[in-house]
Structure 1
């Protein structure tokens, strides 16, 4: 296992972190997974108030396993709120559930809207409670996670209130590249969340994608894309059992720059996408927004790119079906809401027939609704 400095926190974190959102089958399985992670060199554990019984399971497991406090760093996450006293209560409740005297890192969980940012920057919002808790020794470092727009993420970074960021950024989703760079320039720790699942459900890749990535697996390639980037500190793994730790950690020592062979694979992926999609490829410039019907056009067409170009239909359906069902965690309406008003058409530098592509995507990917895991 390799370790990297987590920005200005100066914590030395393992390049893989144990995410506990999915390890909720039972407290015994949770404890086994935690014990295995520590044994394999993982020293950073991530949980959240909103992850069901995760904090309870983690607190019980840490106590029962008698893991020395110096063996791990822990991040938990609490939702933004405009109520200072509520945030203070939440911090104390998390400490109680985790059975700890202090928490290494607290991230505001889901700075996803401009209202959330306003609550943070107000004189009496949640940041006041976090700073008071830090002064009291209850927490050591403050960061944030986000599923928001790039503009919102950059604005949040520019507040200079945070020491680290939990961010979605992968080979198949590079929209947040400028946020990675800005966070790095501000010496913030960068924690990439859900690279195997939100990064493309790469643990169950389709045959086309597998063939394009050989001799690596798609999962290995995505990990290498991220680990080769020295700006990034750590990647989350979200196992449900101890066994699911093994495959990701096979690359935990390989943090060197991309090899020529790996660069060739990435070039092959890009060429294949261009060949298959041709003039229907959305290049993710986001100039089509805003949409009068609040359709997240670029994300919908990104999912179409992946489904048509790489046959990543299972992943694309999984994400598409969250539209209109996950609130600000996955904002935007589905493609069938398009009224063919034409507002987006003159703004598209690729001259895409966006209404037709939205309709096609809806037909390909719509189905039963999906909600967030712990709902």
Structure 2
């Protein structure tokens, strides 16, 4: 296991963190998963008030005894931005669930809209958080986000936070500017869900497997992230002990990408260009805003992956979240397009966006999705 400084917190975190959203089959399963992760070098455990019984289960695992002492472990919990009294109460409830007298890191959970950003800049929520820092219940403060890039950049620029949890993967690099800004401000960077949201890479389609040879798609994505020194740690949301194996097998491979790895990534890029041809969306985001609030770049990103890499199951999974996950995954489905044409002159590639949107809906519509804790 390798360790990296978590920005200005000065905590030295393992490059893989155990996210505890999915280990809830039972308290015993949670205990075994946490124990094995810590035994294999993980020193950062992450939970949230909104993850069912996650805090209680993590607290029980800590109480049962782990291979590291409390001072060798770093615990993060996340609480949605709320009023001052509710925030004070929630912090105390989290500590009680965890059986701890302090948590190392508190993330404001889901700074996803301009309204959320406005809320944390008003008296109340942040005053309560800062009071918890003063009295020692919380040691470091950051935020987690599923927001559009411009909101993430604005949140970083408030200078209220020491770290950020965000989405960024090989197949979704739009948030690179947020990582660069966070690094400039010496903030820790925690990558959310690289295996799942990063492409359902633990069950890759055959074509993607072939394109990534001699590596697995999951291994290649982990290496893409671990090779970036601006990134501190990656979440591994293991549901059980078995799911620790794949990420921890690369936990010591943090050096720059090898020539062979670079060649495979270039192969993936060529494949997209060759397969999609003039229908490839390059993710410039110039088409936004859409009058029907369709997240055009994300819809067309999912089409890119489904067509070029046979990542249809992943693309259906994510597409099904539109209109079902609120501010966690905003945007209307592609069939809401009225063919108004507003986006067409803004597209530098002159894509026939309305046609591509309808094609994407035809390919990917089906089951509706929900966030795990909705």
TM-score (norm 1): 0.99
Listed as ranges, the matches of 1:153-232 within 5 Å are 153-232=152-231
Provide the residue aligned with 1:141 in structure 2.
Answer: 140
Alpha-carbon distance in 1 for matches of 2:81, 2:350 = 40
Matches of 1:31 and 1:74 in 2, distance apart?
15
Q: How many Å apart are 1:125 and its aligned residue?
A: 2.8
Q: Deviations over 1:22-68 (max 9, x none)?
A: 00100000000000001000000000000111001111111022552
| Residue in structure 2 matched with residue 302 of structure 1 by the alignment | 301
Provide, for residues 58-106 of structure 1, a one-character-per-residue CA deviation record: whole Å limited to 9, x for no partner.
111110225521231000000012x111111110010011110100000
Q: Tell me the secondary structure at the aligned position of residue 55 of structure 1.
A: helix
Please say if 1:269 is aligned against 2:275: no
In 2, Cα distance between equivalents of 1:5 and 1:296: 35
Q: Per-residue displacement from partner, 1:330-363 (whole Å, max 9, x unpaired)?
A: 0000000000000000000010010010001001
Deviation, 1:178, is: 0.4
User: What secondary structure, in the 3-state scheme, does the structure 1 residue paired with 2:75 have?
Assistant: strand
Give structure 2 stretches of 5+ with no counterpart: none
Give the secondary structure class of the aligned counterpart of 1:85: helix
Does structure 1 residue 75 correspond to structure 2 residue 72? no
2:16 maps to: 16
C-alpha distance in 1, partners of 2:124/2:286? 34
Residues 1:288 and 2:291 are matched in the alignment = no
- Give deviations 1:304-326, integer Å, cap 9, x for gaps: 00000100000000000000000
SS in 2 for 1:13: strand
Q: Structure 1 CA distance, aligned partners of 2:63 and 2:5? A: 27
Equivalent residues in 2 for 1:349-368 (5 A)? 349-368=348-367
- Secondary structure, aligned partner of 1:235: strand
> Partners in 2 of 1:262 and 1:58 — Cα distance?
36
Residue pairs, 1:79-90, within 5 angstroms: 79-81=80-82, 83-90=83-90
Q: Cα offset for 1:140? A: 0.2
For residue 235 of structure 1, what is the aligned residue in structure 2?
234
2:183 is paired with a residue whose SS is helix
1:124-161: CA deviations, max 9, x gaps? 23111100000000000000000001000000000000
Tell me, in whole angstroms, the C-alpha distance in 2 between the residues paired with 1:344 and 1:247: 42
Report the aligned-residue RMSD: 0.7
Helix, strand or coil at the partner of 2:151: helix
Q: Secondary structure at the match of 1:245?
A: helix
1:316-335 residue pairs with structure 2 within 5 A? 316-335=315-334
What corresponds to 2:102 in structure 1?
Answer: 102
In structure 2, the residue matched to 1:341 is: 340
Question: Counterparts of 1:65 and 1:333 in 2: how far apart (Å)?
Answer: 47
- Determine if the alignment matches structure 1 residue 30 to structure 2 residue 30: yes
SS of the residue 1:107 aligns to: strand
Q: C-alpha deviations, 1:136-190, integer Å up to 9, x for none? A: 0000000000000100000000000000000100000000000000000000000
- Deviation for aligned residue 1:373: 1.0
SS at match of 2:77: strand
- What number of residue pairs does the alignment pair up? 373
Does residue 39 (structure 1) correspond to residue 39 (structure 2)? The answer is yes
